[in-house]
Chains A and B, each alone.
Chain A
Amino acid sequence: MAEFEPIIAAFCCQWCSYAAADLAGSMRLEYPPNVRIIRVPCTGRVDSLHLLHALEKGADGVFISGCLIGDCHYLSGNVMATKRVAHIKDLLGKIGLDPERVEIFYNSSAMGPQFVQTCIDFTNRIRALGPALRGKVVRPAA
């Protein structure tokens, strides 16, 4: 059987982390291709439901990456996102999914290498955890 390749969704704010991901490209740094980035204006826009939706639809992991704390372009959006991630982690534990599947990171637009490390570390983390719902959900017959 082929090695498990996690599917990971990442919400990156357009000011810092999306720029960090671009910088990783400019610097030609490599990371596993498992991460799919979705651009949001601010991590504060990422709804708890978005995180749950990702997992529900079969993502193996989902993370948010925003500005460094204190540097949010909108003052405190990343603080709100941090709270929501903590809340969802709590919730996941209760429904039997590993809270480690959801995370928030902070990467400034100058932190291309750190963004790469984030992707490597998170992919490794999810790889170790194995699939979330994929292969485990039995769909009711239509």
Chain B
Amino acid sequence: MAGKDSKISGSVMVVGGGIGGIQASLDLAESGFFVYLVEKSPAIGGIMSQLDKTFPTNDCSMCIISPKLVEVNRHLNIELLTNSDLLDLKGEAGRFQARVLKRPRYVDLTKCTSCGECAKVCPITLGNEFDQFLSERRAAFKKYPQASPAGYGISKRGIAPCKAECPAHISVQGYVALTAEGRFQEALKLIKEENPLPAICGRVCHHPCEGVCTRGQLDEPVAIDSIKRYLADLDLASETRFVPEVKERKEEQVAIIGSGPSGLACAYYLAREGYPVTIFEKQPMAGGMLSLGIPEYRLPRDVIQAEVQVILDMGVTLKTGVSIGQDVTMAELRQQGFKAFFLGIGAQECLKLGVEGEDLEGVYPGLDFLRRVNLGETVHLGDRVAVVGGGNVAMDAVRTALRTGSKTPFIVYRRSLEEMPANEEEIEECREEGIEIHTLVNPTRVIGENGRVKALELIRMELGEPDASGRRRPVPVKGSEFVIEVDAVIAAIGQESDWACLGPECACTLTDRKTMQVDPVTMQTSDPDIFAGGDAVTGPRTVIEAIEAGKQAAVSIDRYIRGQDLAEGRSRDWTPAKDVPLTGHEHAARTPMPRLDPTTRISSFAEVQQGFSEADAVEEAKRCLACGICSECYRCVEACLAGAIFHDDQPEERLIDVGSVILCPGAVTFDPAPMEAFYHYKQHPNVVTSIEFERILSASGPYLGHLMRPSDQKEPKKIGWLQCVGSRDQNRCGNTFCSYMCCMYAIKEAVIAKEHSKVPLETAIFYMDMRTFGKDYEKYYTRAEKEHGVRFIRARLHTIHPIPGTDDLLLRYSDEHGNMQEEVFDMLVLSVGVKPDQATVELAGRLGVELNKSHFALTTPFTPVHTSRPGVYACGIFQAPKDIPSTVADASAAACAASEWMSEARWRDTRVRQMPEEKDVEGQPPRIGVFICNCGINIGGVIDVPAVTEYAATLPGVVFADHNLFTCSQDTQEQIKAKINEFELNRIVVASCSPRTHEPLFMETLQACGLNKYLFEMANIRDQNSWVHASNPVFATEKAKDLVRMAVSRAGLLKPLMEKKISMEKRALVIGGGVAGMNAALGLARQGFEAVLVEKEAKLGGLSRDLTATIEGQDIPRYLTGLIQEVMENDKIEVLTESLIVGFSGVKGNYVTEIMVGPAMYERRIRHGVIVLATGAREYQPTEYLYGQDPRVKTQLELSRQLDLGGAEGLSQVVMIQCVGSRNEQNPNCSRVCCQTAVKNALHIKDLNPETEVYVLYRDMRTYGLLEDYYTLAREKGVLFFRYNPEDPPRVTISSDDLLVTFKDHVLEREVEARADVVALSAGMVPEDTEELASILKVPRNAEGYFMEAHVKLRPVDMASDGIFLCGTAHSPKLISESISQALAAAARAATLLAQDTITLSAVTAQVNPDLCAACLVCVMSCPYEVPRINEQGVSEIDPALCHGCGVCVAECPAKAIKLNWYEDDQILCKLDALLEGVL
């Protein structure tokens, strides 16, 4: 390609993976463009996937959407970007650069097999959005069972604050969640990932996690530390304590100096890596401060010993009583082969008070005192002991003094209680034990007598400005000195380290504070082989900080020994999760820690805190709010044998070049919560929204399809639907528009609910206007009322009252006559409207796409899918409220518009799968290979897979059988290929999951080896065996053998099948030259395809020639002129006017149509590949209301022409009558457009002459969607609307030449007579006469003569015969904008065929053996598609291009002359034979 077109991208971005986005993507990908489908959630499917049934056919929604889901996911030319948002769009149409943010899924979809093991082990339960929170799901989840892509994902809000705050970053939420589920061992294991000393920390940790616990904002923080202690104690008390797995032993020895928490932690993590570790401790026992600083009543010695023992059990050597620097030097250790050192010597030298008298007898450094007591020495302090300090050492000292016999030990602290660094429990327990705490006092002098302490002089303090620590600085109050008599003084104001271990061989340096200088990330000192951590580096701090330091040092030491970069990748952002919702939780008090009674405990060193019971721990754990959602317990990582889960998945931004963008982000349903006072939706469980009700009805929903009400799960006997919730409501919610689909879905729900209900169910729908305006919708409405007995009540709702003592609801409403009524319901369903959500509004803002006042994309009637930004298109509810068929049609229309000017780039970006030439295996004896899948443990955990494999190998024809962990994985595909070649396999059986999802994948593997893909068979031993017989492994294994035997027997009979290719005649025939036909022709021509436009009249334009303006005020004649001109000038379009179709033959891709052209009636034969039917409709010619008898009675079209030509002068009263020729026996359907036509003309009259009185006599005003605003405007302008009953219609009479209309006013309940200058009849629409055409083309029409589309919902512009498409009013009555949209849709659908050079036909088609055929016509009569025909030879013939492959004819044929390829009789019967082998 040359020129500027070469720069046009051949790719399109579609934003939104609902049914609209799916349709647009498939159309584009099929017609030669590469598609990026951007979906914000983890799976496509949108709202449609949540629905139970769809109106008006009651089709199962999932049945019809799921094949599309699979198709999108597997399409070679669609890249699905889930969890993604379009951030912005630079550039211009044709050359956009889209920036897309892909949010992490935490699961690698290329590896995930969708087995669900992750969800099984996930401890986090949350509301299931898909079920509208009526059920629960896990944090590891699949959006819904049929979700596409099928993989799982993990919900995360961020790092839980507890984990973020914990210095060791333990997955606190994780072990709390596991505890809540009673999974104590798993919880302990998780803790021990980050903290080797949980029993110790469970007692002495300062638990900053609890300080930031979100639960604290609600009531009180979760007692995290106590839970941890419970778990650790449980483990230590068990027969087999948890000892972490040690990796393969390494050679390099590491020395650890100091056995405090940092040293122990460092040893633990190095030992886990396999290093030989030796701890040198100068004291006689391990533990450092844990053993010597902390008293036993807080931390029993056996607990320390037990946790140290676990570390020793991992192979760590402990050498006590060794002073480094004295007994052995670092230099000597280096010589002995130690490759690295960790200095964790702590800070155990007490700081001095720095006051006079400090050297007197009876003044003790706090830690010396504690160490002596802890080493078993008896220390007599005397009765009155002043302990100076406010930290934990001070608290330990004062309480130890009490326990060693002092009567009144007390605390002296220079700041206030708030600043006290000691743990809160410590302070509290001090108080319980009767210990006084004197704050805001500081010693100034120790007074002695005979060299011994006698008293302490103190000065009062006050708090000044905050200091560097953030705490307020204590300032002495001058002259406030006072003296207290004491027997001893303990100084506990801080410690420092003793650096005697460092010899001259060490290059490491100290800071001014006498702490070791280290790199803050790697903990490395100036000596490359020496690392340090804990108090020795930080000064006196906490146990958990020391542990973390030891852990980090271990990482560094490992890297140092391995010669890796020490710092790389070690900084992680620990910003905690924000916006944790606090609502919806009941108050629950924190479980208190049971303590020994203060009066007894002070006389001994027995442990004060008694620990939680199991019930306490579980109960307390349940208080967790799961701030991070995912708790990062990593159980899923362990459970996932495919290795698909990675918790550190990161957001990823991508820049993608695309030519066009289609926006179909969909909508959200209206949240009735803001109208709580009226609807009681939040408070009352039996008030549900319609989408919740869909889930309630759904077989895979929260109640498995049993109709129950949420409050008590009882079957309701009476359900009411309330219409227009969040729609047509300016006052309460500001949504002035009508939501289009709610009337229909309410009727459908009422009908389906009645079908579902086991008890007789009464249903009632309360509404303002029943808007069933779509194709055949009115018939559905009528059937619901007449056949199903759904009650329809035109009402104004007054109030809803929950009835006390029951779960029922009292509905008060005023009926049509203004009378107040009351009814009791078991359940009320709110028919909620739809609207783009805030995220969509923001998206539009980012992209520069204009929205209208109701936040829908701004489009015009003549360009219904074009947004304000060139190259960006809109469809679905983003454009306006609409139902599924309109969404699908608009999506195809958007696909057409998006590709209209990109045709030069067609096939430029697409991919092609290259396959080798096929081997000829015809006639070869079967050499079958059987591959049996374990699916991790999904199959292998239930079925004895090796036994099945062994069995398979014995089956006839099998030359190879093996089993794999995951048969679908990429490496197994390679293995299968290798085995096919090695063993010359010519038939393959895979026994694994479902062929519905995996058959195409394995077929591709066959093709890649040159094997015909139909030589493949699957045995479904997972979805239909191990998953449904998990509790019966013996039977399941037997069943698996049966299924494999059946599959092998069929495989042996499979034959290679050739998929026939037929050429494509790249030309379209468009029948009908109205707005729809012309747009369809142009849509194709702009894409570079030829179109022949056939019009029976002499002029183009059709019905539109009679139209004046759209309701929005757009000039239709002007538009039409332009359109006709464009059609006439386009050299790809040939226009044949005054032409009639007289003959038609051929199959899709190769049709031949005979046309009689022009007044001269010469014959043309057109060869073409596709047809677009756009034959249109016309206005009904009324016979009612004196039409044709009095010229003042006109149709609305006639009135609009009159207004256009002559204005409204002289019109004092105009009466309009709706539903003329619609919604009656002759035409049971609604004509859709007449209500808006009436409103349009009424508004026009009011504009022309505000004095004119306009009456509109209607049955239901059906101004759907955004048209509602015009209805509102008409009422504001004084147009008067009166409802009439079809049983009592208005009467038009003439009296003294006056035209009179008599009708009944339902509010006043009396007859009203109005004189009219004009009576305008809103005449319905009738299709053009297409009877002959339908018979020539062999296409079906409905009873009213409209063509019948292939599927109401998902194929609205396709006819059942491939290659024939439909648009405009030939389909059903519609507005000009809707016709244009459908026309473009038909063009897009046609382009999916025209873009191909050849069409591949399915090989699974029926084939007649002419020798056996008796031409009995059974096949002809039984085929649902009328495909078989008796050919020239007098026998039946089935065109493979037309055959759908159902096999009905095969089963019906009495002579057995027909076979269905791939499902031949013997290929089915052999399965029965194999199953039943030897049972008789």
Question: A-side interface residues toward B, CB under 8 Å?
Answer: 7, 9, 14-16, 18-19, 21-31, 33, 36-42, 44-50, 53-54, 57-59, 67-68, 70-77, 80, 84, 108-114, 116, 133-134, 137, 139
Contact = CB atoms under 8 A, between A and B. Distances in A.
Contacts of A137: 1480
Contacts of A133: 1480
10 contacts: A25-B1024, A31-B1029, A41-B1447, A42-B1448, A49-B1465, A54-B1476, A57-B1476, A58-B1480, A74-B1448, A111-B705
Nearest to B1477: A57
Interface of B: 52, 57-63, 66-67, 116, 145-146, 698-700, 704-705, 994-997, 1020, 1022-1025, 1027-1032, 1035-1036, 1038-1039, 1042-1043, 1046, 1360, 1404, 1422, 1424-1425, 1444-1448, 1450-1452, 1460, 1463, 1465, 1468-1469, 1471-1473, 1475-1476, 1479-1480
Given A37-B1024, A47-B1451, A134-B1480, A109 B1446 contact: no
A41 B704 contact: no
A76 B1424 contact: yes
Contacts of A26: 116, 145-146, 1023, 1027
A7 B1475 contact: yes
Nearest to A8: B1475
A14 B1460 CA distance: 15
A108 B146 CA distance: 13
A11 B1039 CA distance: 16
B1446 A41 contact: yes
A43 B860 CA distance: 47
A112 B1046 contact: no
Contacts of A36: 1039, 1042-1043, 1046, 1475
A58 B66 CA distance: 36
Contacts of B994: 18, 22, 25
Nearest to B1026: A25
A70 B699 contact: no
Given A39-B995, A110-B699, A59 B1475 contact: yes
B60 A110 contact: yes
B1446 A112 contact: no
A53 B1474 CA distance: 12
A45 B1446 contact: yes
A30 B1029 contact: yes
Given A19-B66, A23-B700, A53 B1472 contact: yes
A31 to B, nearest CB: 6
The 3 closest A-B pairs by CB, nearest first: A45-B1447, A25-B1023, A25-B1027
Nearest to A109: B63
Contact of A114 (B705, B1025, B1475): B705
A53 B1466 CA distance: 11
A74 B1424 contact: yes
Contact of B1028 (A47, A111, A116): A116
B1032 A109 contact: no
Which of A29, A68, A109 has most chain B Cβ within 10 Å? A109
A46 B1451 contact: yes
A46 B1035 CA distance: 27
A57 B1460 contact: no
Contact of A38 (B58, B1046, B1360): B1046
A84 B1450 CA distance: 13
A40 B1447 contact: yes
Contacts of A59: 1472, 1475-1476
A40 B1445 contact: no
B1042 A16 contact: no
Nearest to B1040: A33
A67 B995 CA distance: 18
Given A68-B60, A112-B700, A29 B1479 contact: no
A74 to B, nearest CB: 4
Nearest to A23: B145
Contacts of A31: 1028-1029
Contact of A19 (B996, B1042, B1472): B996
Nearest to B938: A25
Nearest to B147: A26
B16 to A, nearest CB: 23
Contacts of A14: 995-996
A47 to B, nearest CB: 4
A41 B63 contact: no
Contacts of A80: 1422, 1448, 1451-1452
A28 B1027 contact: yes
A57 B1473 contact: yes
B1035 A33 contact: yes
- Which of the listed residues B59, B1023, B1451 has the most CB atoms from chain A within 10 Å of its own CB? B1451
A25 to B, nearest CB: 3
A15 B66 CA distance: 9
Residue with the greatest number of chain B CB neighbours at <10 A, chosen from A45, A50, A75 = A45
Contacts of B1404: 41
A117 B1404 CA distance: 32
Given A36-B1039, A40-B1463, 15 more contacts: A7-B1479, A28-B116, A37-B1024, A38-B1472, A41-B1446, A44-B1446, A50-B1468, A54-B1476, A59-B1472, A70-B58, A74-B1424, A74-B1448, A77-B1447, A108-B62, A137-B1480
A23 B146 contact: yes
Task: Give the residue among A25, A59, A114 with the most B Cβ atoms within 10 A.
Answer: A25
Nearest to B1035: A33
Contacts of A39: 995, 1020
B1396 to A, nearest CB: 24
Contacts of B1030: 28, 30
B620 to A, nearest CB: 31
Contact of B1472 (A9, A37, A67, A68): A9
A48 B1445 contact: no
Nearest to B67: A15
B996 A18 contact: yes
Nearest to B1478: A58
A77 B997 CA distance: 23
Contact of A113 (B52, B700, B995, B1469): B700
Contact of A40 (B116, B699, B700, B1468): B1468
A113 B698 CA distance: 10
Contacts of B1028: 24-25, 28-31, 33, 116
Contacts of B1035: 33
Contact of A47 (B57, B1038, B1450, B1475): B1450
Contacts of B52: 110
Contacts of A44: 1424, 1446-1448, 1451
B1406 to A, nearest CB: 10
A108 B698 CA distance: 11
Contacts of B1460: 41, 45
B239 to A, nearest CB: 34
A19 B1420 CA distance: 30
A21 B114 CA distance: 17
B704 A113 contact: yes
B1024 A134 contact: no
B751 to A, nearest CB: 13
B567 to A, nearest CB: 46
Contacts of A16: 60, 63
A40 B1450 CA distance: 13
Nearest to B1444: A74
A70 B1039 contact: no
Nearest to A84: B1451
A139 to B, nearest CB: 7
A74 B1043 CA distance: 27
B1032 A33 contact: yes
A62 to B, nearest CB: 9
A71 B60 contact: yes
A41 to B, nearest CB: 6
A57 B60 contact: no
Contacts of B1422: 80
Given A33-B1032, A33-B1035, A80-B1452, A50 B700 contact: no
A21 to B, nearest CB: 5
